Amino acid sequence: MEASTVSAPDREAYAARQAQLLDALLRGDEPPPGFDAVQAGAAGSSLRRKRGRLVALAWPALALELGDTFATRFDAFARAVAAPRSGLPLEDGLAFARTLQARAELGDEARAELLLARATLRRRGVFVAAAWLRRPRSRLLVVARIPRLGTLHRSLLRRGRRAG
């Protein structure tokens, strides 16, 4: 193969055009000049749907809780918030779940899932958090992540009974 045939400025302009298209698709904005808006809209929806599908698989309780509304809610979230650099659906879903939690729209099963995800995604140091959950039964869920031990969780039932 011959040495580099493309000079650096060409790659820069090319990068800018790709970034422009990518941003428009991800956010659902008007595409750059020359693109068909209907095609771009379909392509953008498809990207957000694929992203949402991966999040739903990583967050089964959240997906179950949102049911048919998952797709439209995730689409709205995905237009506003870029996927994490890690590309991890668990981390992507954490940001999504937090937006729902901030609006008090998260049910107890999904809140439990959120605590576990926060612990799992913690990369250094000790993580301990607890949440009082009412469903499927009243309990205090305590989640901890300790280096070298991994993620631990215990549900403390009312009247002091313990369960795993």
**Closest by Cα among 74, 83, 85, 79 to 30:** 79
For other proteins, give the closer residue by CB, 28 or 107: 28
**Which CB, 42 or 128, lies closer to other proteins?**
42
Q: Cα(first)–Cα(last) distance of the chain, in Å? A: 61
CB of 34 to other proteins, least distance (A): 3
Q: Write down the least CB distance from residue 39 to other proteins, Å.
A: 4
- Name the DSSP letter for residue 135: S
Contact 96, 74 (CB under 8 A): yes
Q: Which of 84, 107 has the CB closer to other proteins? A: 84
Least distance to other proteins, CB of residue 12, Å: 7
Contact 26, 14 (CB under 8 A): no
Nearer Cβ to other proteins, position 73 or 154? 73
Binding site for other proteins (CB under 8 A): 1, 4-6, 10-12, 14-19, 21-23, 25-26, 31, 33-36, 39-40, 42-43, 46-47, 50-51, 53-54, 82-83, 85, 87
Whole-number Cα distances in Å, 19 to 26, 43, 45, 89, 149 = 10, 15, 17, 22, 41
